[in-house]
Structure 1
Amino acid sequence: MTSAVASHPDIQLTLDRDGVIRQATFSSAISSEASTPWIGRPWADTVGGIGADTVRRMVADALSSGVSAFSQVTQRFPSGLELPIEYTAVRLGEASGLMVIGKSLQAVAELQSRLIATQHAREQDYWKLREIETRSRLLFDASSEAVILVRASNLRVIEANPAALRELGVAPGWEILHEIAPKDYDAFQALLLRVRQHGRAPAMLVHFGARQEAWLVRVSLMAAEPGHVFLVQLAPAGIAPGTGRADPAPLDDLIDHLPEGFVVVDPEGVILRANRAFLDLAQVAAEGAVLGQPLEHWVNRPGATTAVLLATLQRHGVARLFATTVHGELGGSVDIEITAAGDSDRTSRCFALLLHDVSRRHAPPEDDDRVHSALKQIADQIGKTPLLELVRRTAAAVERHCIEAALRLAEGNRTAAAELLGLSRQSLYAKLNRYGFDIGQSAADRAD
């Protein structure tokens, strides 16, 4: 920019030492402007905004050091035209005035304006694409028809909508050819070849999934990065001949109305199916919010994670009373026990999990009322009885309640109740005697 200003100035001014214009010359680019009105005026009066201070500083710098730094100001011409000009000032001699040369930055300013306009247009296009993508995503998730996106290069599932996850049990990463019945394998390969050549092909009947049910399959080819993608749409074709299977819809309805949480996951722990009770535990509004997501996101506890549960299922095929915690989206957490099993004796393709809420286990209401009543009576003695005596009575009330609860959980077996309380049998009998329990040996103890 420095060489450009020096070799091809658009404005050349001669100033006296007070910064007053004595001569002005314009280039052909702005030759229509008259320079006469500037003669005899301070240069600072011909610029706009804060440019006056910049001009005065340039004059002072040139007088003191011989040359000023390049600075940009808005130059106002006699006609009213305003242009961005980059100036530098040079001292002509000790007693002489200053020479000021300037280069118009209008082309740069126009380029900057175009760049800003282009960026604004690109932002608008970006948000339009985001809006289209959001609408497509909503349609993809809300579709009642099973839809799968498959990478054309390796035929692996990229994405599956909730209906596909629920009805077919497929998940991202699975190879779609493994889901096709052997008798339909060649026909399906021919269908894909025709789609590669023509972009789409007529629908065909394919037996798909673990149950080999009949589905009407439509496939089309879409351009994507890094390669093409097959859009596979599957619609139920009715009951497969010879299977005699009833419509599974009533079973789905029963699962949805189970009071316990029910989840189906693949071997990686990705959720393929979830009922309403699980959605309540996870504190989400719709099944689509959990389908395709890892169960670990909601079900985990240090030492009792979903990974530990899946490892147990892979090794033994079943899991019973696996204690862990469900963490809800709204911050709530619930202690649960999971009973789970795979779908076959061989390597399981998916696992069914039943989640039982154990946080609701508590003593019968009448016991709670009795303890509350005892503690209230003790509290009424405050001010009438020494504190140490109140503490002793409170501890006795709580201890009695714990002994009653242990006996109830052990179904009257004193030996088992002692183990639950961490006491020896003799210590438990001493406490039973202290609190007036019947200390006759129970039938369960005699059996021991």
Structure 2
Amino acid sequence: MSHQLRNKDQQPTSLRPSFGEEVDEVNAMARNLGGREVFDVNKALENLRADPWSMLSEISDIILVVDKHGMVTRSMCHQDLAFADVVAQWHGHCLAEILTPESRVKFDAKIAKIPHVAKQNDAATGMSSTFGNIELNHLSPSNSQEYPVQYSLHFLKHDHGFALFGRDLSIVSSIQKQLVDAHLSLEQEREQQEQFLAKQHLIMESLLEPAFFVDASNGQLLEYNQKAAKLFNIPSTLSALDINTFLGGIGSKHALAQLLEASSGKGTGQTELAVKTKHQMMPAEVNIFRTAGKRTLFVKLLSNIPEPGQESKNAQLRSFVDKLPDGVAFFNREGMVTSCNDAFLDLTGIGHDIAKANFSVANILSRGQVELNILLDQAAKSGAVSSYATNIRTVYGAQRDVLISMVPLGSGKNRLMGLVLRTNDPTAKTTWPNVPPQQDVSEDEMQTMIGLVGNMALKDIVAKSADVIEKVCIEAALKMTNNNRMAASELLGLSRQSLYVKLRKFGLLNREV
């Protein structure tokens, strides 16, 4: 005899048992559930209107009676059940229709495990058998909601059906869902906190100055970057450090009192602190903020302290540049001078703050922007320009012969160019940067000119050799400018039209130099 769930169109054929038999089964199931008999049999028989199933529904949230064909012949519930109106609609439906697909499979598997012999023995002894608990999910009429119920499964002897005594798990399910949501929320908050701490650590370490956070209530050092750890000589194993151990205030004040006083006005301010590990005073910028009712100080020390008794390398280099007799200037990718020494101002005749005047290096070069582009191109290719001989114009129009050396500094958007101007010795040889020495006259051309001796007058021979020299100069100019005809004409002091005439004359018009 199969108890697998079936469709609604299979109608039950069992006969209804007598009232006395139902009473016996109900009392037996009540004892199996751990309770006492629901009511006295004699009293129940006196009142035929009394329904033992309704009385059992007072100790169970839901009671379903299912016949051997899987049809729900009774559906009762506690009057306080939240979905009591839904349970009332289950009567007369096939159990499979009111369960989710997963629960149907689970119920069929449970029924299949019930031994057939146990059913026969219970039928012979007149007792109902209990076959453990099972959790099933019911569907709402609109299939938009599920109702979880834990059932105790009992076999009925009179029609070989089942009685399911259920406990509503909606509250438990709701609590479980809240716990899962809370866990997911905590995980999300933990990930956000980890991201925040990672960003904070990255920002702290990217600062050029020593920086740290201090608890405003007790002066405890909360967090610090590596520059602060190096300045204070803090071992990585120490924790819960007092800021007054490393810093002191002005006079006899403690560092914490000094910081609180500096930030008491607008929440931010500047002060001076004594760095005990270096025995020196240094300026500090302090900000105070409040989170979760707790005040915290953020302190940033504004300058680096050199080693005791030694001048910093930056100061030495700055002093060297300032005292150098050669002009030194720094300019950006657009050619605008950002800083220079006094010697550069003397050579160019500038009498104002050059960094604030948007002054371009092209303004002092005799060939202007064209020559500056050549210098920048050569510096980019070879990494430096050394002793480039040219002349510059002062702001008053005077001409000066100089040697230029230039080197790129840094990279990217912050890239600068370092420029050195040195007065040119008239006896110094003029050289072009990174241009291989030209062979003045080829062997064939030299032999040709020697062969002219005796056949031509000297002035004619000189005129002939002038063409050779002119060709060599044009080739050198084209090499310097990477075959840029316009720039080459500027270097040679020719118009573009004159240069093209000479290129055609010497067969260089379509030639890659």
- TM > 0.5 between the two? no
TM bracket (short chain): 0.3 to 0.5
TM-score (norm 1): 0.43
